[in-house]
Amino acid sequence: MVRFTIRAGAIGILCLAATCLGYGGFEFGTSFVDVNGLNQTLTVLNRDEWTGSYEFNGTSPLWWLGGHGGGQVGVVTLGGSGAIGARVDHTDSLGSELVALRGSFDAGYPYAPLDWFWVRPCVDVGLAGWFLYAHSVESGTFVGDFQPNFSRGYGAWTIGAAPGLEVMGRWSSSPESFIGVFARASYFFALTGPEWFGDAPPPEFGLNGFAVQVGMRLGSTPYRAFRI
């Protein structure tokens, strides 16, 4: 999974070098995933498998940090991106950490009514995976059927798509480069899976949901507006 994410980011770097209008940068994101199934699984583990009494009441969103790169080829943009996301949930006797990774290819059609602004319908298609580690908060001794140093691990991967809409403003930092700030709204949905591995039964959890990304972008060559 890590190797796939690195490769997807490398696609963007290759686009930077191979196209006449290249760009790349970093981004922060948030996805509003359904965590009810995750809360239910962790609550059962806390109450029935360990010695806790509280419920898990974690909420969305899931936060992401990533990078991207691409280039404008004719009237379309092609590129790639990669990101890592994480969340931590703890209650009285049980803790959990979730780590998610994604790598995707990006294609879009930029429309620029002004030289310093574009609107870009786009779609990302790629692979996403996550791993959840649930464990006792502190070590203990056997109490009846309960075991000390309790832990469970669940992993999954899926292939998905995220159609969306991006807006970007840019400023020329030199005659041959620009600095841009962008925001994108999209919706991620699974095309396959999720395919689970690890302990059973897995939680009812996936990355489907509305997502928002904001970030900064650097262009290595002059940007030209495309108009309909």
Q: Is the pLDDT higher at 228 or at 189?
A: 189
Flag whether pLDDT at 225 surpasses 90: no
Question: Which of the listed ranges 71-80, 98-107, 108-117, 219-228 does the model predict with the highest average pLDDT?
Answer: 98-107
* Range name among 15-19, 167-171, 191-195 with the lowest pLDDT average: 15-19
Flag whether pLDDT at 227 surpasses 60: no
Residue-level pLDDT at 138: 67
- The dihedral of CA 18, 23, 24, 27: what is its sign? negative
Flag whether pLDDT at 208 surpasses 90: yes
Length of the chain: 228
Domain 2-219 has CATH 2.40.160.20: yes
Cα 39 to the chain's mean position, in Å?
20
The pTM (predicted TM-score) of the whole model is 0.79
- The CA distance from 196 to 69, in Å, is 30
Q: Count of alpha carbons within 13 Å of 204, Cβ hemisphere only?
A: 5
77: buried, middle or exposed (CB in 10 Å: 19+, 13-18, 0-12)? buried
Tokens of 147: 């075991």
DSSP string covering 133-189:
EEEESS----BTTB-SS-EEEEEEEEEEEEEEEEEEEEEEEETTEEEEEEEEEEEEE
pLDDT mean over 179-195: 95
pLDDT mean over 111-136: 93
200: buried, middle or exposed (CB in 10 Å: 19+, 13-18, 0-12)? exposed
Flag whether pLDDT at 222 surpasses 60: no
Tokens of 171: 């400023």
